[in-house]
Chain A
Amino acid sequence: MNTEKLTFNTIHGDFIAAADKYPENQAIWSESGTITYSELNKLSDSFANWLLKNNRAPGKRTAMILPKSIETVICLMGSLKAGNTYVPLGDTWPANRLNAIIKNGDFGLIVTNKENPEIDFCGCEVLQLESNEWQEAQQLADSNELKSVELLATDIAYILYTSGSTGIPKGVCVSHQAAQFFPAWAKQEFNVDPSHKIASIAPFTFDLSTFDLFTGLSSGGCLYLVPEKFKMFPSRLSGFLEKHEITTIYAVPSTLSLLLLNGNLDKRDMSHFKTVLFAGEVFPIAMCRQFREYLPKDVQYYNLYGPTETNVCTYFDASKVPDGDDNLPIGLPLPGTTSFIDAGPDDEEGSGELCIYGPTLMSGYWGKPNEGASYWTSLPDEPNKMAYRTGDITYQDKQGNWIYKGRADKMVKIWGYRVELGEIESGMLKHQDIEQCAVVKRDKQGNLGEELVAFVIPSASGQASGLNHTELFKHCKTYLPHFMVPSHIYELDSFPLNNSGKVDRLKLENTAQDYVLQNS
């Protein structure tokens, strides 16, 4: 007997329920218009009908190369309703990166508004927004063809691509059962209800957006899609938050720090705020303290933690900031989650690599066998259960809260995005003027997070013509998304080597940091 069906909810089930309960509530505000719950439900039904009618569902993958918009949410919800996996791809990603993903993605359909000749759709069906087909896909709501598509708990709800160390992004596959757990938990834990106005900042390619989409749109509250042009200017962003009386935000700490330092918060009315959630990187505790001074006293703050592979798996209620200068803890595991350190303690704090087993865990990477993969490890007492090795070094305090210390590998975070330095290096080395390349991160001036800098040794052709930095930046942008492009490129004749004869990255990091100090 298959009992799975009885005991799980789909990731979009609570949205459908909310649409029944609050049909006239505004679901989404965007710069180009608004949509109610009932309209969004109807149009996504229509898109689901269209997918099923045209044999592009169920059990297929719908990729979207779209800006954040109401149409994108219609596609995404419609795909889920038709039993497909939604796969958001960044509309600002370079064609080379998109092509590498499309080539191996086996997509049943790619929805886009781009007519970019550099994108190779590899023979996939493409649906252009604004086309006649799209119009048709918006007019099938009342046909009674939407047969209820039966889903299993293990069916994949979404695939999100993250940086891969070999140069090719990895697709993290998350089942319905795993995908719905965090949004449902968050709705209860943070009391998200129809009064909430959620500023949606993260792109849909980033797992922070699963809160906006699936907690927000299951609550009867409204999602405010923050226009791209405001993200660049903190004072415009704070003006946006004030104007729309935003109650809730889930952002990376870099965004909150910028709001604090350059958002003119002292001139803004932030009295409507209820909930501030952050994740993706460390929020310096001093910044966190200062940020709270501009918001009402009763606002709840949570530090959330989890790589895309586990979505949020630990949380810390930061409504009272602990004393001292230590990092905010990443906190306690979500209900049903087992968290432990792999390989015994390696120092007096008992720190080691954090491993996670629980309801939010991914199914695996797209196109890669799970068997024997190094990112899985078995539970200490239950060898047949596999936990995900996060690569994050942590230790536990006396209250059982996990504290983040650093990474076990070369991965870094920029704006909360995961960045594998190897992916950048392999992109840069494709340029004929570069012989060798090492990318390191350094702290920006003034505690404003980290940035990437590249050290390069020019090839013979690069030496002959001299390196053209603008051209190198351009080259990077044809292979890498903007947050992975180094902000500075330094030329060296040779790289420092460590005792084992490898490039001494620590030394390069120090050199890069010295350059910042010299400039300040």
Chain B
Amino acid sequence: MSDKSTQDRIKDLIVEKVLVGVNPEEISNDSELVSELGLDSIQIIGLIGGLEEEFDIVLEDDDLDFELFSTINNLAKLVDGKLA
């Protein structure tokens, strides 16, 4: 098990699999994933797959909401809700 916070694990995931090459220190938990970091549909799909794998969860259609996917903080809430 990882001791890292959900936020940090999501950030690692984004840096390793979605926005390769971006310095993790440049991404904050409140950064807007789409409007600020520029994730497109394909990167979002990569992120969905990465989250399911990393946290061993299944994201249903209702989880795929623009709001929930807007920032790392919101994603962490989604993931923690799934794990609870």
Contact = CB atoms under 8 A, between A and B. Distances in A.
Max chain A Cβ within 10 angstroms of own Cβ: one of B35, B41, B48: B41
Contact of B23 (A232, A469, A519): A469
Contacts of A262: 45
Contact of B20 (A231, A258, A519): A519
A476 B35 CA distance: 11
A444 B69 CA distance: 22
B45 A474 contact: no
Contacts of A488: 20-21
Interface string B10-48: 000000000011110011000100111110111111001
B66 A470 contact: no
Contacts of A449: 42
Interface in B28-84: 31, 34-38, 40-45, 48, 61, 64-67, 69
Interface string A478-504: 000010010110100000000000000
Max chain A Cβ within 10 angstroms of own Cβ: one of B37, B44, B66: B66
Given A229-B66, A235-B64, A470 B26 contact: yes
A19 B51 CA distance: 49
Interface residues of A, number: 29
A473 B20 CA distance: 14
B64 A233 contact: yes
Contacts of B69: 232
A258 B45 CA distance: 9
Given A229-B65, A232-B66, A473 B38 contact: yes
B41 A231 contact: yes
A473 B35 CA distance: 10
A229 B38 CA distance: 15
Contacts of B31: 470
Contacts of A473: 36-38
Nearest to A92: B35
A104 interface: no
B38 A239 contact: no
Contact of A232 (B26, B27, B41, B61): B41
B20 A477 contact: no
A101 B84 CA distance: 50
B19 to A, nearest CB: 8
A78 B62 CA distance: 37
Contacts of B36: 470, 473-474, 477
A477 B37 CA distance: 10
Interface in A264-316: none
A287 to B, nearest CB: 14
Given A235-B61, A239-B61, A228 B37 contact: no
Contact of B35 (A477, A487, A490): A477
Given A233-B64, A235-B64, A470 B34 contact: no
A234 interface: yes
A32 to B, nearest CB: 16
A126 interface: no
Contacts of A229: 65-67
A253 to B, nearest CB: 13
A399 interface: no
A243 to B, nearest CB: 11
A262 B49 CA distance: 10
Contacts of B22: 469-470
B41 A469 contact: no
Nearest to B36: A474
A249 B41 CA distance: 19
B66 A485 contact: no
Max chain A Cβ within 10 angstroms of own Cβ: one of B21, B42, B44: B42
24 contacts: A229-B65, A229-B66, A229-B67, A232-B64, A233-B48, A233-B64, A234-B41, A239-B61, A258-B42, A262-B45, A444-B42, A468-B26, A470-B22, A470-B23, A470-B26, A470-B27, A470-B37, A473-B36, A476-B38, A477-B35, A487-B40, A488-B20, A488-B21, A519-B20
Given A229-B65, A233-B41, A487-B38, 14 more contacts: A229-B66, A232-B69, A233-B44, A234-B41, A236-B64, A258-B42, A469-B23, A470-B27, A474-B36, A482-B34, A482-B38, A487-B43, A488-B20, A490-B21
Closest 3 CB pairs between A and B?
A: A229-B66, A470-B26, A233-B64
